[in-house]
Amino acid sequence: MNDINNILKRENLSETEIAALLSLNSEEDIKALFERAYSVKTDRVGRTVYYRGIIEMSNICSKDCLYCGIRRSNSNVNRYSMTREEIIDAAVFAYRSDYGSIVLQSGEIKSPEFTEYIEGLITEIKSKTDSQLGITLSLGEQSSKTYRRWFEAGAHRYLLRIETSSRDLYGKLHPADHSYDERVKCLYKLQEAGYQTGTGVMIGLPGQTVEHLASDIAFFRDIDIDMAGMGPFIPHEDTPLKDYDIDKEKQLTLALKMIAVLRIVMQDINIAATTALQALDPFGREKGIMAGANVIMPNITDRKYRDNYKLYNDKPCTDEDSDACRDCLEHRIEGLGETIGYGRWGDSKHYFNRIKR
Ligand code: SAH
Ligand code: SF4
C-alpha cells in the first residue's frame, strides 16, 4: 500500500508502474486509485461533465474488424443511412438542448462523394446552429486531404481509436487488409490538420494482457493525444469473437482502472465515460466519471435506427428517445455532485497546452 501511495503521487510513471496500478486488486487499493484520479480531475479539468450528443449516421462499413457487430461480413444487419435532414434535425436538437457539441459517427466509407457529403453537412450544421455547436467526427481512416477539408468546414475534434497499440494483437483482431501503420499514421494526419485528436482502446480483448494496456497508456502519452475514449470489449453474437467469455465485473473494473491511470498520467486531457461501460453496469458511466472521466456521449440518433447500430451486445438505451435520455442523465450526473457543461464545447485543455509547445 505504501508503494502504491508513492506511485499515485506522481504523474510521470514508467510502464512497469502503470502495469502495477492496473494490476491492483484489493478493494482498498482500487479505491485509493480512483480517489487519486478523481482529485487530479478536479484540480486539472474541474468537476464539470461535458456532453457530446452522438449521431450514428450510418452502419454501412467497408471494414471487417473481427470484434464489431456492423462489420461488412455480418449479413444479419439491416443497413441504413440517416437522411441528411434527419442528421441535421438531430444536430439542431443537440443545439437546442444545450448539449454544446455533437459527434458524427459511422462505419468507414471512403470516397470522394462521401468526403464532399460530410463537408457539406458540417457547413450546414454550423450555419443552422449559429456556429455555436462543436463538431467531433468519428468517421474512420481517411486521407490527409479529406481530414483537412472537414476541419476547414468546421469540425474541430476527431476520434479514431487505435483499438490496441500492440501491432501483434492488432493483427489478430483485424483481417490482413487492415493496416496498423495506416491507423497510427492517421492520428498524426489528424494532429497535422489541426484537430483535437482522440484515440482509445478496447479493454479486455482476447489475448490482451495488463502489459499491453500499460503500453497503450504509454502510446497515448507518446503520441500526445488530447482526448481518449476507452471502453470494455463486449463480444457481439454475429462476429468471429462471439464465443469469447467475459467476466463483466472484472472487465468493468479493469476499464475503470484504465480511465483512472490515464487521468493520472495525462492530467489535462478529456476522457470519455463510454456507453460500453453502461452496457456492463447500469451505473457504468457514472463510475467512469468517479474514476476520472469528464465527457459523456448521450445517444441522439433517431430511435428507429438505434437497434441497427449494435457494435456489441446489450448496447444500452436503444429504446429510449433523446429527450428521455437527457433527463435521465442529468439526474444521474448531478447526483454525483458534478455540474453539466451545458452549451459549452468543453475543449481539451491539453490541446491548447500542446499547440503552445
Ligand atoms: N468506424 C469508425 C467508428 C465507429 S466504430 C471506427 O472504427 O473508427 C467505434 C468504436 O466502436 C470502435 O473504435 C471500437 O473501439 C468500438 N467497438 C466496436 N466493436 C466493439 C465491441 N465488440 N465491443 C466494444 N467496443 C466495440
Ligand atoms: Fe467498421 Fe468501425 Fe466496426 Fe471496424 S469498428 S467494422 S471500422 S464500424
Rounded to an integer, what distance in angstroms lies between the CA atom of residue 51 and that of residue 101? 7
Q: Give the tens place of pLDDT for each residue, 67-77.
A: 999 999 999 99
Q: Give CA 277 to chain center in angstroms.
A: 11
The ligand that comes nearest to the alpha carbon of residue 311 is 1
Structure confidence by residue, pLDDT tens digits, 117-162: 999 999 999 999 999 999 999 999 999 999 999 999 999 999 999 9
- Nearest-5° angle of CA 83, CA 85, CA 90? 100
Residues of the chain above pLDDT 70, percent: 97
Confidence at 328, pLDDT banded by 50, 70, 90 = confident
From 54, 3, 34, 49, select the one nearest 259 (Cα to Cα).
34
The pLDDT assigned to 2 comes to 57
Q: How far is the CA of 169 from the centre of ligand 2 (A)?
A: 16
31-58: average pLDDT: 97
**CA Rg value for the chain:** 19
**63 contacts 178 by C-beta, under 8 angstroms:** yes
* 37 close to 217: Cβ distance less than 8 angstroms: no
Distance 336 CA to ligand 1 centre (A): 28
pLDDT band for position 19 (cuts 50, 70, 90): very high
Q: Is the pLDDT of residue 287 over 60?
A: yes
DSSP state of 187: H
Phi, psi of 222 (to 5 degrees): -65, -45
List the Cα angle 290/295/300 in 5-degree steps: 125
Q: Which residue has the higher pLDDT, 303 or 287?
A: 287
**Which pLDDT value is given to residue 320?**
63
Question: Please, are residues 175 and 71 in contact by the beta-carbon 8 Å criterion?
Answer: no
Rounded to 5 degrees, φ, ψ at 42 are -60, -45
324: confidence class by pLDDT, cuts 50, 70, 90: low
Task: Give the pLDDT confidence score for residue 318 in this predicted structure.
Answer: 66
H/E stretch holding 51 reads strand 48-51
Share of the chain above pLDDT 90, in %: 92
Rounded mean pLDDT of 310-315? 89
pLDDT band at 315 (very low <50, low <70, confident <90, very high): confident
Give the tens place of pLDDT for each residue, 240-263: 999 999 999 999 999 999 999 999
Closest protein CA for atom 13 of ligand 1 = 161
Q: Which ligand neighbours the alpha carbon of 201 most closely?
A: 1
pLDDT digits 0-9 by tens, 155-184:
999 999 999 999 999 999 999 999 999 999
The residues near 143 (Cβ < 8 Å, ≥ 6 apart) are 110, 189
pLDDT tens digits along 33-44 = 999 999 999 999
Q: Whose CA is nearest to atom 18 of ligand 1?
A: 68
Q: State the cell numbers at 83.
A: 437522411
Distance CA 16, CA 68 (A): 31
Q: Give 3-state DSSP helix, strand, coil % of the chain, rounded to 5.
A: 45, 15, 40
DSSP string, 90-110: HHHHHHHTT--EEEEEES---
For residue 67, which atom of ligand 1 is closest to its CA? 22
Position 319 scores a pLDDT of: 63
